Amino acid sequence: MNTTIKKWGNSVAARIPKEALDISNLSLNDSVEVISFPGSITLQKKTTKTWREIAQPIVNTKDWVFNREKENERL
């Protein structure tokens, strides 16, 4: 899929094809985060999850508790 960056008021915009939205599971009025890299831009759906909700499946260790002071001692 290709599109062109165009001027839109004082900003620029690129139309996103519906097929791309369908594949990415995004829809009109979704809030997205813009992540910029040299030569590319990525749109990522914003999450309302807390850090603990995101990290829980990764950690998933019985009785694990994050201790900031203890972790900072390792540095």
pLDDT of residue 56: 72
pLDDT of residue 66: 78
DSSP states of 29-41: T--EEEEEETTEE
Domain count of the fold of the chain: 1
**6 pLDDT more than 70:** yes
62 is in which domain, residue-wise?
A: 5-73
Find the CATH number of the domain harbouring 40.
2.10.260.10
pTM: 0.52
Tens of pLDDT, residues 13-71: 999 999 999 999 898 899 998 999 999 999 988 877 777 777 777 766 667 777 888 88
